[in-house]
Amino acid sequence: MPELYYSKAVNEALDEELARDPAVVLIGEDIGLYGGAFGVTKGLFAKYGPERIWETPISENSFTGLAVGAAMLGVRPVVEIMFMDFIALALDQLLNSAGKLHYMYGGQVKVPMVLRTPGGAKGGYGPSHSQMLSNLLVGIPGLKVIAPSTAAQAKGILKSAIRDPNPVIVIENKRLYPQKGEVPDDDDFTLPLDRAVVASPGTDLSLFCYSSMTPVCVAVKNAFLQTGVNIEVVDLVSLQPLDTETLFASLRKTGRAVIVEEACLTGGVGAELSALFAEHCLDSLDAPIVRVAAKDVPIPSSLALEKLVLPQPEDIITAVKENLAY
C-alpha cells in the first residue's frame, strides 16, 4: 500500500472526484495557478481549467453563498476556506442556508456541498491564523462535521463527503499536511462519514481525541506501554454526528476517560462528549472524566507562549496519571 502525505491524499481525492463527476467544482482563494495556500490543489487548475476550478476574491461569505446556490441547482461544489479562522465570515451561509434549506423546503432541494478548511496551529501563525474552531460548527443542525487525522481518512472521507447529498464540513489540520500514512491505491476508496475509529486498542483507560491530537495521543499511549499501562486511543473522526456507539463501548470497557482536543476547553466537542458520558455511562466510570484542551485565551504568535496555550504531550501524560491514580 503506497504512503502519501496527508496533503497529497486530499489532492488525490479532489482530482479523482473531479475526474469522476463533471458536476464537481472547486471554489476558493488562490486555489488555481498558485495551488492553494498549503499546496493542496496544486496541478488541478492546469488539468481541469477555470470551468472547474473557480478562483474567488477575498469574500468568504459571498463564495460560500455561491456554493450553496450552485449546490441547490445540481452542482457539487467543494469550497476551500484558506484558514479555519476565516470561517466566521461564512457562518451565516452555513448556519442559515446550507444546513436548513433542505428542511425549509420540505426535502424539495438538497445542498450537496463540501467546505474544507485547515484548522489548528502550525507554529507562530498567531491568534487569527491558528484556531481550531470545531466548537463553532458542532450544534448547527443539518451540517456534518468531520476531522480526519490520517492520510487515508483525509482521502476516503473527502471522497465520501463530495458524494454525500448533504453539506459536509471537513476540518483538515495544518500540522497534519506534512505527515505520511498508508492510503489504498483505489480510485473508489471511500470511508464512512459517521464512524469513530479505535486508533489503538487498550484496556486501562480511553483517550478520546481527533485531528492533530490523534497522533499525539498514540505516541502517549506507546510511552505508557513501557510502564505496563495499556491505553485505548479512540479517534472521533466525526464530530457531528458523534459515533456514540463506539465511544460508549470504549468507555464501558476501560472505565476511564481522558478527552483531548486542540480547540479551547470551554463549550467544545470535549464538553459535549463529557456530558454524554455523564448522561449515559456514569455507572461505568471508575474516575472523573478529564479534559485536556487549549486554554481559553487567544493563541500567541510567540512559539514559547503558544506551547503554554495549546495542549502538549506532557499535559496528556499528567491527565492520564491523575485519572489512573484516582
% residues pLDDT > 70 (the chain):
100
> Is the pLDDT at 88 greater than 90, yes or no?
yes
Mean pLDDT along residues 14-25: 98
Asked if residue 183 has pLDDT above 90, the reply is yes
Q: Is the pLDDT of residue 1 over 90?
A: no
Give pLDDT, residue 316. 98
Start and end residues for every CATH 3.40.50.920 domain found in the chain: 197-325
pLDDT at 26 over 90: yes
What's the CATH number for 197-325? Answer: 3.40.50.920
Where exactly does CATH 3.40.50.970 map onto the chain? 3-182
What is the share, in percent, of the chain residues with pLDDT greater than 90?
98
pLDDT at 190 over 90: yes
How does residue 315 score in pLDDT terms, banded at 50, 70 and 90? very high
Q: Are 169 and 157 in contact (CB under 8 A)?
A: no
- pLDDT at site 167: 98
Cell of 207: 483517550
How far apart are alpha carbons 267 and 293 in whole angstroms? 11
pLDDT over threshold 90, residue 286: yes
Stretch 131-143: mean pLDDT: 96
The chain-wide mean pLDDT, for the chain, equals: 97
Please check whether the domain covering 3-182 is classified as CATH 3.20.20.70: no
pLDDT of residue 293: 98
Which pLDDT score is estimated for 244? Answer: 98
Helices (H), 43-170: 44-48, 60-72, 91-93, 101-104, 134-137, 151-163
pLDDT of residue 122: 87
- 96 C-beta neighbours (distance < 10 Å), count: 13
Global pTM reads 0.96
E runs forming strands in the chain? 3-5, 24-28, 53-55, 76-80, 114-119, 144-146, 168-173, 180-182, 197-200, 205-209, 231-235, 238-240, 257-264, 290-294
Q: Which of the residues are catalytic?
A: 60, 129
Does residue 27 have a pLDDT over 90? yes
In the predicted structure, residue 21 carries a pLDDT above the cut 90: yes
Q: Taking residues 213-225, what's their average pLDDT? A: 98
Structure confidence at residue 155 (pLDDT): 98
> Which triple of cell numbers denotes residue 133?
474552531
H helix intervals, 128-183? 134-137, 151-163
Check residue 123 and give its pLDDT.
85
